[in-house]
């Protein structure tokens, strides 16, 4: 059945199972691959969180390869090559056990080798579990590759609910980033006629509203709620075929800050946390843009309906300003790491590192104003 946007959105994920214990269901599902090899991949921290699960896998004959790093695992050429070297011509499935970086690496390798991919979630830290996008560092530059989606997604509740608190904060930041991502998307639709799905726009805002209404629940319940919301965000990306509904200016800023940290040999903070931080800065840009709407109208030669639609889109995003401001109190230690000049540099790099129209593109066209 066609959506109101004119597309027939297809669910290409075979199953999503977040349960108290996942080993029995996973082993049952693996029977379809009993004539080939299955490569399980994880990293050192997650191998400890999923220690019993991994022991159970090994007890029935599966091997789990651990990407070992003294520092944080990066989604780089080394990780890609290391996973490829663990595959053989008999490898018929790759199963990642982890979150952001691990998920990106495994999805990319499985796509390049044209074999299916499953993921076992370890934390509600990002929306990439159900996404098709894998940001990979190539010679220090973060490039987004569009791959295939994980056919099956698993998650064990005790691991997800007891993930480190900063990973839950990262997931919250990634979810809040949808506010500006959706605004960028609809703005591009208004200004340039880019494809846009009203159903996805409404539903993602519904998830943010649900989150806002339930922030007082326990950490375990909050983790599950964030996890559910981020999985759905990933599914919507698969509907569109790219990350447009969930990634805008806030992600471009975050990616730039990450690349700069890597260049300097500094610790890379969780992507979702920097997305949540950048969302605050992008909302400030939208407030400024609203006050200077005449400049946008003149530059893009907008008619009255386009101006009206743009204003209502900005106003919708600004309804959540208090929520985004409250989030900043959770990440003050991250915010203080970045000077105004570093943030401005990241904003100006946004249109350079990726060909995606966002509010940063408008400021680039208008000369960056008084920023």
Helix axes 249-263, 359-366, angle to 10 degrees: 80
Q: Which CATH architecture has domain 15-161?
A: 3-Layer(aba) Sandwich (3.40)
Cβ proximity of 114 and 153 under 8 Å:
no
* Per CATH, domain 165-366 is 1.10.3720.10: no
Give the three-class secondary structure for 141.
strand
CA 72/CA 91 separation, integer angstroms? 27
Q: Is the pLDDT of residue 294 over 90?
A: yes
Report how far residue 35's alpha carbon sits from residue 16's, in angstroms, rounded to the nearest whole number: 24
Q: What distance in Å separates the CA atoms of residue 187 and residue 320, rounded to the nearest whole number?
A: 17
**Six-digit token string for 164:** 């480190």
Is residue 347 pLDDT above 70, yes or no?
yes
| Across 4-10, average pLDDT | 92
Phi, psi of 41 (to 5 degrees): -135, 135
Mean pLDDT across 148-171:
90
Residue 128 is predicted with a pLDDT of: 80
pLDDT of residue 10: 86
Q: Give the containing element (helix H, strand E) for 118.
A: strand 117-121
pLDDT in tens, 349-358: 999 888 899 9
Q: How confident is the model at residue 370 (pLDDT cuts 50, 70, 90)?
A: low
The pTM of the full predicted model, rounded to 2 decimals, is 0.89
Q: Dig out the tokens for 150 from the structure.
A: 């994980």
Residue 308 banded pLDDT, cuts 50, 70, 90: very high
Give the model's pLDDT for residue 291: 94
CB atoms within 10 A of CB 342: 14
Region 280-287 average pLDDT? 97
> Of residues 222 and 15, which shows the higher confidence score?
15
Query: Whose structure tokens read 């921290």?
Result: 45
Q: What is the pLDDT of residue 43?
A: 94
Residues of the chain with CATH 1.20.1090.10: 165-366
- Other CB atoms within 10 Å distance of the CB of residue 133: 24
CA distances from 213 to 183, 201, 203, 209, 272 (A): 21, 19, 15, 6, 21
Tell me: the pLDDT tens digits for 114-151?
999 999 999 888 888 888 889 898 988 888 888 998 99
Domain with CATH 3.40.50.1970 in the chain: 15-161
Q: How many CA atoms lie within 13 A of 240 on its CB side?
A: 25
The radius of gyration of the chain's CA atoms, rounded to the nearest angstrom, is: 21
Q: pLDDT tens-digit profile of 234-283?
A: 899 889 988 999 999 999 999 999 999 988 888 888 899 999 999 999 99
Q: Please give the pLDDT value at position 85.
A: 97
pLDDT attached to residue 87: 96
Residue recorded with tokens 């990979």:
136
């Amino acid at each position: 059945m066609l959506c109101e946007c004119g597309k027939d959105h297809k669910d290409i994920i075979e199953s999503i199972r977040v349960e108290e214990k996942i080993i029995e269901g996973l082993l049952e599902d693996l029977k379809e691959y009993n004539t080939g090899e299955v490569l399980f991949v994880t990293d050192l921290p997650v191998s400890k969180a999923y220690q019993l699960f991994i022991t159970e896998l090994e007890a029935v004959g599966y091997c789990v390869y651990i990407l070992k790093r003294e520092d944080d695992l990066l989604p780089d050429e080394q990780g890609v090559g290391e996973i490829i070297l663990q595959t053989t011509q008999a490898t018929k499935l790759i199963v990642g056990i982890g979150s952001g970086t691990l998920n990106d690496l495994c999805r990319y390798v499985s796509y390049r080798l044209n074999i299916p991919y499953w993921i076992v979630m370890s934390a509600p830290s990002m929306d990439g579990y159900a996404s098709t996008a894998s940001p990979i560092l190539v010679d220090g530059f973060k490039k987004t590759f569009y791959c295939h989606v994980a056919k099956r997604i698993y998650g064990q509740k005790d691991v997800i609910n007891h993930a480190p608190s900063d990973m839950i904060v990262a997931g919250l930041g990634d979810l809040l980033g949808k506010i500006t991502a959706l605004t960028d998307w609809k703005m591009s639709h208004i200004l340039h006629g880019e494809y846009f799905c009203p159903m996805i726009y409404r539903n993602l805002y519904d998830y943010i509203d649900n989150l806002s209404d339930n922030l007082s629940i326990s950490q375990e319940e909050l983790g599950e709620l964030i996890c559910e919301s981020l999985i759905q965000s990933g599914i919507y990306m698969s509907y569109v075929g790219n990350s447009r509904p969930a990634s805008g200016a806030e992600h471009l800023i975050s990616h730039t800050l990450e690349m700069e940290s890597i260049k300097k040999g500094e610790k890379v903070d969780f992507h979702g946390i920097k997305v949540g931080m950048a969302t605050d800065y992008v909302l400030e840009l939208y407030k400024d843009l609203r006050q200077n709407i005449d400049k946008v109208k003149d530059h893009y030669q907008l008619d009255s309906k386009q101006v009206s639609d743009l204003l209502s889109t900005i106003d919708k995003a600004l309804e959540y300003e208090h929520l985004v401001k409250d989030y900043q109190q959770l990440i003050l230690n991250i915010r203080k790491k970045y000077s105004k000049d570093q943030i401005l540099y990241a904003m100006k790099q946004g249109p350079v590192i990726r060909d995606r129209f966002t509010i940063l593109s408008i400021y680039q066209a208008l000369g960056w104003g008084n920023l």
